[in-house]
Chains A and B, each alone.
Chain A
Amino acid sequence: MISVSRGKLALTAKIVLLALISAIFLMLAQSAFAQKEYVIGVFLFAVILLTLFTYLTKKSIPLKFFLPGILLLLAFVVSPILYTVTMSGFNYKTGNIVSKDEAVLQIQNRAFEPDSAGTSFDIKIGTFESKPAILVSDIENKRYFLSTFEKRVPLSNGAVTLNEYLVAQSAPGFSPLPTDQLAAADSTYSGKRFIFKDEYFLSLEGLDVAIVARQTLTYLEQQDVFKNIIDGTIYKDNGRGNYQAGLDSAAILEPGWRAPIWFENYSKLVTDARFRDPLIRVFIWTVVFASATVLTTFALGLLLALALNKPLHGRRIYRSILVLPYAMPSVMSILIWGGMFNSEFGAINALLGTDIAWFQNPNFARTAVIVVNLWLGFPYFYLVSSGALQAIPNELLEAAAIDGANPRQIFRKITMPLLLQILSPLLIASFAFNFNNFNLIYLLTGGGPRNSLDGEIAGATDILISYTYQIAFGSSTQDLGLASAISLIIFILVASISLYGIRKSKVLESFV
C-alpha cells in the first residue's frame, strides 16, 4: 500500500517537474521566436522534446543521467565555439554589426534630408476619413491643413479651433487621438510620410511636431543598389559589407552589415605585420608568464608546505595566515596591489625608497604581474602540496633514511618525484588557467604599457586573451571578427595543453 502511494507520489512529482521544465522552456522558446532568434528557439523546442522523450520512455536509461550535462555542454560550450568559429569568417566590426536586411532598412530610414530652411510645424495626431492623419499648423503663415499618406487638405482659418499658442486642435472631419491611444498608435505614425508639397513630405519628430523633408536615396531591390535621387550616384554592394560608390572606399553608406570574408581574418594574422608581430610577441610573453607563474607559485607553495609539514609551534596559525590571500577575493587583491605599485604615490616605492615606474616600464610591469600572481597563487600550491606530502608513505622516507640517504637526497629522489606524479595534472591545469588569466592583466596593468606613439596595439603585459579583448573592445573601433579568429587560436592552444595534461595524468583511463 505504502509503495503504491509512494509510486504515485513520485509519478506526480515527475509530471509536475517535467511540466515545469517544459513550461519554462516553452516560454523561452516563444520569447526566442518572438525576437526572431530562430536557432535558439528551435534548440529550446528540441530540448523540450528530448527531455520528454528521455524521461517519459525507457528507451535509454544512461541518457536520463547524461542529458542535462549534454544539453548544458551544447548550450554553453559547443554553441559559443561554433558562433566564434562562424564570426571569425565575417567582417564583423564597428560599422558592420547588423544583418544586411537590417542595414538596408536603416539606410532607407535615414535616407531623407530636412528642407534647407529647417521647416517644422506643430501638429495634432488623429484620423481623417478613418485614415491616419495629422492636423498641421503653419503658425508663421497662419495656414492650416490636414495631411494623410495620400493627400493634403487645406483648411480655412475659420474651420479650425485654435489653442492659446495658435495651434489647431480640431477641424471638420478630423478626429484627434485621445492621449491614452497615442502610445498604441505610435508606430502607425512614426517614420511615415505625410503629403506636403512636390518631393517634400512631413515626418513626425515627436507627438506634436513634424518636419519637412525629402527622400535622398532609393533602394533598387532587383539590382541590390542604392541610388541617390538628387545626384544620381549609385551605391553597390562592395562585397565587404557596405554599399559603396565607385572605387572610393570612404564613399560608403552606413550602417554596413556582417559580410563573409572567409579566412581573411586568419590570413591577416599571418601576412599583416601590424597584427602578426604583436601576436608573436604576445604569444611568447603568454607562455613565459604562464610558465613563470606555475614555477614560482609551485616553488613557494611547496617550500612553505615542506616547512610546515613538520611539527612546529603555532603551525595552525601560520597555516591560516598562508591561506588568507587565497580566501580574499582576487579582484580586491589585484586592485590593492595596483595601488601599491603606483609610481608616484604607491607604498612599494615609498618602502623601497625608489621611484620605479612599475606600470610604465615594460620589464617592471611584467615583474609586477608575476609578483602579484605569485601572491594570489602560492596558497593554492601550498594547500595541494601539503595534502600531497601527507599522502607520501612515511615508510619510504624512513627506509631511505635507514639506507643512509640525507634529507636533500630523500627530497630529490623520493619526495619530489612522487609529488610531481601527484601534482602534474594540477600544474598543467594551472598553466592552462594562467594562459587565459584575463582578470589579473586587465585589472592590474590593462595590458600596458603600450607605446601607442609607435603604433603598438599590444601592450608589454598583454597576454593572448587580453590582446584579443583589446582588439574586440579596447578601442572605439571594435574588430570582433579578428578577435574571434584569435580566440579560436587560443582555444586550440589551450585545448592542446589540456589534452596533453589529460593524457599525461591518464584521468580518462577509467572510462576506456
Chain B
Amino acid sequence: MNKKSLGFTGVLAGFALAISSFVVPSASAASEIVVWADESRGPNLTKVIAAKGDWVPGYTVKIVTFSSFDALKEAFDKATDATGPDIVVGANDWVPTGAKSGKLAPITLTASVKARFNPTQLFDLTYKKSLYGVPIDVNNVAMIYNEKLVSSAPKTFGEMVSYYKANKASKNLKAGLCVAGGGMSWGAHSVFSALGADAYQFNSRDEIVYNRTFNYPKFSNNIKTYLLDGKKSNGFFPATDTGCKDNFLAGTVPFAVIGNWEWKDYVAKGFAMNLMPVPGVTADAPGKMFGSVSGAMLTTYAAKHGVSAGAKSLMTDFFASTSGQVAYQALEGRPPAEKGAQSSSAVSAGQKGFGAAASTAGIPQIGAFLNNNKGGANYWDSAPAFWTAVLVDNKDVATESKKLANIWRSNTTAGKSDL
C-alpha cells in the first residue's frame, strides 16, 4: 500500500468512525418494559398505559402491536434474546409450548393477587404446576338467536332443528345453527357437548376423569337424529364456519355461536345480546362452552433485558389489578378476568352477558389435553375433521364418533402429566 492509499484509508476510517458514531443505535433503554400484543389489544393497551404513565415507577412501558393474532404468535415463536418482549399478551394455550421451549418464565403470585381470579383462570395459565401469566380477559362463546325470526329462546336442540325444518323454505334459511366465532373446534365445542360429546369428562365434584370418554353410541344417535337425513346432512349445522356471521347478520341463519370479542358487531346491527348456551338434547343439559383466558405472560427475555422485577410489577400492578383491567376493558370490550373489574359499573352489559353465559355452562380450556397429539391427532384438528367426515363426506357416524372419542380420551390421558 503506497502513501496515497494509506492516506485514503486513513480518511476513510475517520469518515466511517465518525458516521458510525451517528448511526450506531443506542441500546434499548434498560428501564423499558416491552409488551407485545395483537392488533386489537395493542392499540388499547397503548392508550391505557399512556393515560397513566407510572404503572411501574421508574420504568417506561412500550407496547408493540402486531397486525394480527397469528402474526403475534409467529413473531413470538421466532423471538430471540435481542428481539423478544418482556411480556406477551397471548392465548392460554401458548403456555405449554412457551414453557417447554424456554420462552416463558414462571411467576409466583402472592395470595392476595391470586384471590383476584377464579382458580380455573389461573389453571388455564399453568403448566406443570407453575404459573406463567396473569389472566386479562375471558374468552368464550355463547349462542344468540335472531329475535326477528325466533320469538323466544329455544329450550332444546330439537326445538331449534324443528324450527329450521319448518321455516327453511319460507324464510330462505341457509342453515339453522352455525359457528360464527371460535372455529369448528373451539367455538363448536358447545355443539359437541349439547349432543353428548365433551372434550374431557368431569365428575360430579368437578374433577377430571381420565379413564372415561363421552358416550359415542349416544352421541352418534343424536347426530343422526338432529343433523342428518339418512346419511346426508339435513343442512341445519354447516361443517364450516365460513360465512356464518354474514348470514346470521343477514337474517338467513336464526341461531349462531358468537365470540365475546365481536359482540359489538352484532349490537351495531340491532341484535339483542340474548346470550345463552347451546341448548342440549334435554332442557337440563345445555352444551358446555370452553371458557379460557388470555393472559399477560412473563417471558424469559425480561431477565435477559434486566427488567424482570419491573415486568413482574407491571403484571401484578397493572394487568392483574382492578383499575388496570377496568381501564383496559373499557376500550377493549371483552369480559375482564379480574373479579373486581367484573363487578365494576364500567363494564358493559355485553361483557357481563358473556361472563354470565360462561359461568352457566363453561368448562376450562386445558391446553395440556387439547394440544396433545398422543391419540394420533389433537382436539383442534380432530374436531373440524369430524364435522367434515359426517356432514360432508357422509361417513358412518358411529365409526367416526368412536374414532373421535378414542382420540380425545388418549389426549386427556396423555396430558395428565403436563398439568
Q: Is the CB of B110 within 8 A of A211?
A: yes
The 8 A CB mask of B373-394 against A (1 = contact, 0 = none) is 1001110111011101100110
Cross-interface CB contact of A57 among B5, B114, B310, cutoff 8 Å:
B5
Contact flags (1/0) for A372-396 with B, using CB distance below 8 Å? 0000000000000000000000000
Stretch at the interface among B6-14, B145-153, B200-208, B336-344: B6-14
Over the window 451-466 of chain A, the binary record of Cβ atoms lying under 8 Å from chain B Cβ atoms (1 yes, 0 no) is: 1111100000000000
**Which residue of chain A has the shortest Cβ distance to B21 in the bound complex?**
A23
Interface residues of B in 198-238 (CB under 8 A from A): 238
Cross-chain contact B385 with A452 (CB below 8 angstroms): yes
Are A455 and B16 touching (Cβ within 8 A)? no
Separation of A186 and B86 alpha carbons in the complex (Å): 13
Is residue A120 within 8 Å, beta carbon to beta carbon, of the partner chain? yes
> Are A95's CB and B309's CB within 8 A?
no
B240 lies within 8 A of A453 (CB):
no
Stretch of A62-70, A199-207, A228-236, A482-490 at the chain-chain interface:
A199-207
CB contact under 8 A between A23 and B174, given known A109-B105, A114-B108, A186-B306:
no
The answer to whether B5 touches A345 (Cβ under 8 A) is no
Inter-chain CA distance A98–B403, complex, in Å, is 36
Name the one of B19, B247, B307, B388 contacting A23, with C-beta atoms under 8 angstroms.
B19
Most buried by A among B101, B109, B175: B101
CA distance A396 to B282 in the complex (A): 82
**In chain A, residues 11-31, which have Cβ atoms closer than 8 Å to a Cβ of chain B?**
11, 15-16, 18-20, 22-24, 26-27, 30-31
Q: Is the CB of A345 within 8 A of B77?
A: no
CB–CB A183/B381 < 8 A: no
Name A280-305 residues within 8 Å CB distance of B.
Answer: none
Whether A255 lies near B111 (C-beta < 8 A) is: no
Once bound together, how far apart are the Cα atoms of A361 and B388, in whole Å?
A: 9
Q: Does A54 contact B (CB under 8 A)?
A: no
Closest B residue, CB atoms, query A213: B108
Q: Is the CB of B80 within 8 A of A35?
A: yes
Could you tell me which residues of chain B, from 251 to 309, have a CB within 8 Å of some CB in chain A?
A: 300, 303, 306-309
For the complex, is B130 an interface residue (Cβ under 8 Å from A)? Answer: yes
> Is A478's beta carbon under 8 Å from chain B?
yes
Please name all residues of chain A whose beta carbon is closer than 8 Å to the beta carbon of B5 when the two chains form the complex. 56-57
Interface string of A111-141 (1 = CB under 8 A from B): 0001000101000010000000000000000
Does A80 lie at the interface of the complex (its beta carbon under 8 Å from any beta carbon of B)? no
In the bound complex, do residue B59 and residue A183 qualify as a contact, i.e. CB atoms below 8 Å apart? Answer: yes
Flag if B393 contacts A345 (CB, 8 Å): no
Interface pair B242/A187, CB less than 8 Å apart: no
From A147-155, A336-344, A422-430, A433-441, give the one contacting chain B.
Answer: A336-344
**Cα–Cα distance between A262 and B66 once the two chains are bound (Å):** 37
B172 lies within 8 A of chain A by Cβ: no
B102-119 vs A, CB cutoff 8 Å, 1 = contact: the mask equals 110111111100100000
Per-residue CB proximity of A395-410 to B under 8 Å, as 1/0? 0000000000000000
Given contacts A15-B15, A345-B243, A361-B393, contact A452 B381 (CB under 8 A): yes
Q: Please report the C-alpha to C-alpha distance between residue A11 and residue B7 in the assembled complex, in whole angstroms.
A: 12
- Is A224 among interface residues, defined by CB-CB distance under 8 A? no
Is A507 part of the contact surface with B, judged by Cβ < 8 Å?
no
From A2-10, A174-182, A319-327, give the one contacting chain B.
A174-182
Interface string of B300-336 (1 = CB under 8 A from A): 1001001111101101110000000000000000000
> Which of B24-32, B189-197, B354-362 forms part of the interface with chain A?
B24-32
A15 vs B7: C-alpha distance when bound (angstroms): 11
**Closest approach, in angstroms, between the C-beta of B141 and any C-beta of chain A?**
19
Asked if B182 is at the interface (CB within 8 A of a chain A CB), the reply is no
On whether the beta carbons of B16 and A19 are closer than 8 Å, the reply is: yes
Q: In the complex, A194 Cα to B55 Cα: how many Å?
A: 26
Q: Which one of B36-44, B92-100, B163-171, B345-353 contacts A?
A: B92-100
Cβ contact of B377, chosen from A208, A357, A455, cutoff 8 A: A455
- Complex Cα distance, B31 from A101, in Å, reads 27
Cβ-defined contact, A452 with B74, below 8 A: no
A179 to B373, CA, bound (A): 49
The residues of A that contact B315 with a CB separation of less than 8 Å are 206
**Does A476 lie within 8 Å of B393, measured CB to CB?**
no
* Contact across chains for B403 and A453 when beta carbons are under 8 A apart: yes
The answer on a CB contact under 8 Å between B417 and A250 is yes
Q: Are A56 and B107 in contact (CB under 8 A)?
A: no
Known: A35-B81, A345-B242, A450-B385. A209 touches B110 (CB 8 A): yes
**Interface residue? A271 (CB, 8 A):** no
Is B23's CB within 8 Å of the partner chain A?
A: yes
B246 contacts partner chain A, Cβ-Cβ < 8 Å:
yes
Closest CB-CB distance, A234 to chain B, in whole Å?
A: 19
Q: Is the CB of A205 within 8 A of B392?
A: no
Most buried by B among A36, A97, A361: A97
Could you say which residues of chain B place their CB within 8 Å of the CB of A24? 20, 23
Distance, CA A207 to CA B90, complexed state (A): 24
Q: Does any Cβ of A come within 8 Å of B82's Cβ? A: yes
Residue among A15, A23, A346 with the most chain B CB within 10 A? A23
**B136 an interface residue at 8 Å Cβ cutoff?**
no
Per-residue 0/1 for A330-368: is the Cβ within 8 Å of any B Cβ (1 yes, 0 no)? 000000000100111110000000000101110000000
Which chain B residues border A473 with CB–CB below 8 Å?
74, 77
Contact of A452 among B24, B300, B377 (CB under 8 A): B377
B407 adjacent to chain A (CB < 8 Å):
yes
Kindly list chain B residues whose C-beta atoms are within 8 Å of the C-beta of A359.
240
Q: A93's closest neighbor in chain B, by CB?
A: B101
Range for the number of chain A residues in contact with chain B: 35 or more
* Any A CB within 8 A of the CB of B239: yes
- Judged by a CB distance under 8 angstroms, whether A505 is at the interface is no
CB distance from A217 to the nearest CB of B (A): 13
Report yes or no: A344 in contact with B238, Cβ–Cβ below 8 A.
yes
A63, B313: Cα distance in complex, Å? 56
Option from A23, A118, A189, A205 in Cβ contact (under 8 Å) with B20:
A23
Collect the chain A residues with CB atoms within 8 Å of residue B12's CB: 15, 18-19, 22, 52, 56
- B75 interface residue, CB < 8 Å from A? no
Of the residues B80, B93, B114, B240, contact of A342 by C-beta under 8 Å: B240
Q: Are A343 and B313 in contact (CB under 8 A)?
A: no
B384-410 contact mask (Cβ, 8 Å, vs A): 1 or 0 = 111011001100000010011001000
A475 contacts B57, CB within 8 Å?
no
Q: Does A449 contact B (CB under 8 A)?
A: yes
Known: A56-B9, A186-B310. A179 touches B105 (CB 8 A): no
Say yes or no for A87: interface residue by CB 8 A criterion. no
Q: In the assembled complex, which residues on chain A have CB atoms less than 8 Å from the CB atom of B240? A: 342-344, 359-360
Q: By the criterion CB–CB under 8 Å, are B20 and A26 in contact?
A: yes
The answer to whether B385 and A110 have CB atoms under 8 Å apart is no
Q: Are A182 and B100 interface neighbours, CB within 8 A?
A: no
Query: Which of B19, B24, B239, B308 lies in contact with A30, CB distance below 8 A?
Result: B24
Answer whether residue A247 sits at the interface, using C-beta atoms and an 8 A cutoff: no
Which of B's residues lie within 8 Å of A, judged by CB? 1, 5, 8-9, 11-12, 15-20, 22-25, 27, 30-31, 56-59, 74, 77, 80-82, 93, 96-97, 99-103, 105-111, 114, 128, 130, 174-175, 238-240, 242-243, 246-247, 300, 303, 306-310, 312-313, 315-317, 367, 371, 373, 376-378, 380-382, 384-386, 388-389, 392-393, 400, 403-404, 407, 417
A-B pairs with beta carbons under 8 Å apart, 16 shown: A20-B19, A22-B20, A23-B18, A34-B82, A95-B100, A106-B102, A125-B309, A182-B57, A186-B308, A189-B309, A250-B417, A344-B240, A357-B388, A450-B385, A475-B373, A476-B380
Q: Which 10 pairs of residues, A with B, have the shortest CB-CB distance?
A: A19-B15, A183-B31, A345-B243, A255-B102, A455-B376, A23-B19, A452-B381, A190-B308, A23-B20, A22-B16
Given contacts A56-B5, A103-B102, A453-B400, 10 further A-B contacts (CB under 8 A): A34-B27, A109-B300, A110-B130, A114-B108, A118-B110, A120-B108, A184-B30, A191-B303, A476-B378, A477-B97
Task: State the A residues within 8 Å of B (CB).
Answer: 11, 15-16, 18-20, 22-24, 26-27, 30-31, 34-36, 52, 56-57, 94-98, 102-103, 106, 109-110, 114, 118, 120, 125, 179-184, 186-187, 189-191, 204-209, 211, 213, 250, 254-256, 339, 342-346, 357, 359-361, 449-455, 473, 475-478
